[in-house]
Chain A
Amino acid sequence: MTRFLQLIVPLLSGLLFGIGLILSGMTDPQRVLGFLDVFGQWNPALALVMGGAVLVSAPAFAYARRNGRTVFGLQLSLPDRRTLSRPLVIGSLLFGLGWGLSGVCPGPGLVLVTGGTWEAGLFVASMIGGMLISDLFERRRTAAAVPVSAGTQLGDCG
């Protein structure tokens, strides 16, 4: 039973995430760009989507912080909440540039691979290329840096 749950939970989670993106209209780059166009015909829909999502995720994170375990007793570790770094700042700015150009971020990009046209496949392929280049940068940075103990590594927020 536990083994079954271990498989079904991520599958269901991915399915819910995708359906949520589709129902909320976030797979439509025009809807997203409408939110980002604060000096034009501003469309606040994205704020409602994110607000609705955070309202549901916040109690789950509160539970996770308090208990440190999943409901099945599995140990869980949460990402670092405080440390600001150069890659965080520069990476976020560059991500925003790509997001503003296209109206597509990673989640909707993935959904559009099977739900949209071939252009989305190309977008995601290029996105994966960018991710691999980031890995190369990361490797050079960790090679140049003084080794840190595992306990001080920054959490990956995904």
Chain B
Amino acid sequence: MTTQVMVQSLLGGTLIGLSAALLLLGRGQIAGISGIVGNLARGQQGAGAWRVLFVVGMFASPLLYVLVAGTGVPGALALPLPLILLAGALVGFGTRQASGCTSGHGVCGLGNFSARSLVAVMLFMGSAAATVFVVRHVVGA
């Protein structure tokens, strides 16, 4: 890992932590992306304008980044179509069943010293690492 990557990681992580702190102390809500999207998708009355605004902010972030940095957002999903659909469905179903994802259980749950979130994080990271192991080193894709 280069020094540049190290600085980027810590700086980006700090901003994510600030975002979670701001939403918690300013609005009393948890910055958990799967919960925010899941509650909006449910289309329930009273899902809250705050969830819509949070998602609008996230959607706007690449536009701001491109304007300021002058380069595109790094990252592209290069995967066969059926795998994109399968992975997306698993992520959506799994995070809602688990009541949280990398943000809700990771950034927020670990920050709240939650044993329940620690278990969730270890399970989804373990399962993801096992999946990558099979894909890269057993199947050899």
Which A residues contact B (CB, under 8 angstroms)? 5-7, 9-31, 33, 36-40, 43-46, 48-61, 63-65, 69-72, 74-84, 87-117, 119-120, 122-135, 137-138, 154-158
Contacts and interface: CB of A to CB of B under 8 A. Distances in A.
Given A87-B98, A119-B76, A157 B30 contact: yes
A24 B13 contact: yes
Contacts, number: 538
Contact of A135 (B19, B87, B96, B103): B96
Interface residues of B, number: 114
B92 to A, nearest CB: 3
Contacts of B101: 95, 105-107, 158
B16 A96 contact: no
Interface of B: 1, 5-6, 8-38, 41-42, 49-51, 53-66, 72-79, 81, 83-117, 119-121, 123-133, 135-137
Nearest to B68: A19
A145 to B, nearest CB: 15
Given A23-B8, A48-B9, A124 B88 contact: yes
